[in-house]
Structure 1
Amino acid sequence: MIDFAAERDAMVEHTIRRRGLDRPALLAAFRTVPREEFVSGNYAGHAYDDGPLPIESGQTISQPYIVALTIDAAGIGPTDKVLEIGAGSGYAAAILGQMAREVIAIERHAELVELARERIERLRYDNVRIVEGDGSRGCPAEAPFDAVVAAASGSHVPTVLVDQLKPGGRIVMPIGAPHSIQSLVKLTKKEDGTLEREDLGAVRFVPLIGEHGFANTTF
């Protein structure tokens, strides 16, 4: 029998805190959300490895450290409304829900939407909503957002996403070509609408598919 609670605590300590991500709210969120509930049973024993794992629809659940790096960079606060692009298994949305007031997470794969909703509802993360749709368009009906985090890479940050940010809002998104090393980028929208850019390091994500991303027929 695997002691998932102990493995979760060890993952937070070794994979996140000791690598410099030590915000109390971030660490508390990762200690609270059971990653083993967001992977298939075949991979539950590897839930707290610091690496991606396969999930349904040919997608992956991201490496815990990269999830933590992305969320930490977005500077999520308890009154924030957050948009996540690429909900996948629902794990990152659940983490965000521990830190933010409200989370909208968009996913284009219907199978993943159904599974993520079931997990979120079963675990009673009532401030997290999983929406099926084209994440490259954002979610204008729910805008503006304090932060946008993306789990898929684009050639650039779509203007439509910047437009859905509040002044002072942040976008964290991987930028680069599919199937290559990309850069995790943070954009902060200043009061005058200009953008401040920060590069956070090399990553590798699936491509952002959609109207303002890459064409679906390419992959």
Structure 2
Amino acid sequence: MNVEQARFNMIEQQIRPWDVLDTSVLALLSVVRRENFVPAAHRSLAFMDIEIPLPGGQNMLAPRVEARMVQDLNLSKRDRVLLIGAGSGYMAALIAHKAQRVIAMENRPELVEFARTNLRNNQVHNAEVALGEGSEGLPAQGPFDAIVLTGSVTAVPQTLFDQVKAGGRLLAIVGREPVMQATLFTKAADGSLTSRRLFDTVATPLDRMAAEAGFTF
């Protein structure tokens, strides 16, 4: 496989047509080498428009979904970000290049080690991986400028909304198959929430997320 040609095709044929037009995000996809974060057995799938299996029954999001989420977060180098679902560490690596600091939470020890190893091997120094339940977040280290959920939920737990700064945002894929929407929630200065549906997609559910809504449409 010609890796660079496959990467170019992924960007130009999958990602750019999905309204990912931010040049800094498109350039980032060439800097953070996705194939380095894919399990060795599935490395040939690194640039395909599919979810890639990870240890513990989890999956990497499709490349176009990852890129679109990073773009729609509109991150700055001042932002502290909490990532729910570390996966392979790839989303944490992308976000780390756009933000000041990223903490990725993962409740599966085998994925914690996998993500930590990938981030270390790819010299991503402003991202860390914490073992814990994503539904609880990390209140002792919050509030955060942005919180991102890398899998789907039927509803976002209120505990996570509570850890978003005033003026901050939370991005989650909300719904049940076959209808899910990537949704951007923004917290106002008074603590109220507004939401904007960004795009339709389907993603693997996150483990043990509460079904009770912290926000309803």
Long gaps (5+) in structure 2: 213-217
Give CA deviations for 1:10-53 in whole Å, capped at 9, x if unaligned.
31222222332111221122111111111122221221112111
Check conservation: 1:137, 1:161, Cα contact below 8 A: yes
Q: 1:188 maps to which residue?
A: 186
> Which residue identity does 1:182 align to in structure 2?
M
Q: 2:11 maps to which residue?
A: 12
- Distance in structure 1 (CA, Å) of the matches to 2:89 and 2:110: 12
Q: 1:68 maps to which residue?
A: 67
Deviation, 1:194, is: 1.2
Q: 2:83 maps to which residue?
A: 84
Check conservation: 1:136, 1:208, Cα contact below 8 A: no
Q: 1:217 maps to which residue?
A: none
- Distance in structure 2 (CA, Å) of the matches to 1:29 and 1:68: 9
- Distance in structure 1 (CA, Å) of the matches to 2:123 and 2:65: 25
Q: 1:200 maps to which residue?
A: 198
Q: 2:208 maps to which residue?
A: 210
The count of residues paired between Structure 1 and Structure 2 equals 212
Pairing 1:174–2:176 present: no
Check conservation: 2:155, 2:210, Cα contact below 8 A: no
Alignment of 1:1-219 (within 5 A): 2-177=1-176, 179-210=177-208, 212=210
> Which residue identity does 1:157 align to in structure 2?
V
Deviation, 1:152, is: 2.0
Compared CA separation, residues 213 and 29, structure 1 to 2 (3 A): farther
> Which residue identity does 2:208 align to in structure 1?
G
Task: Name the stretch that deviates more: 93-102 or 10-19.
Answer: 10-19
Give CA deviations for 1:36-79 in whole Å, capped at 9, x if unaligned.
11112222122111211112111111100011122222111121
- Among the aligned pairs, what percent are the same residue? 34
Long gaps (5+) in structure 1: 215-219
Check conservation: 1:52, 1:62, Cα contact below 8 A: yes
- Distance in structure 1 (CA, Å) of the matches to 2:57 and 2:49: 20
- Distance in structure 2 (CA, Å) of the matches to 1:87 and 1:181: 24
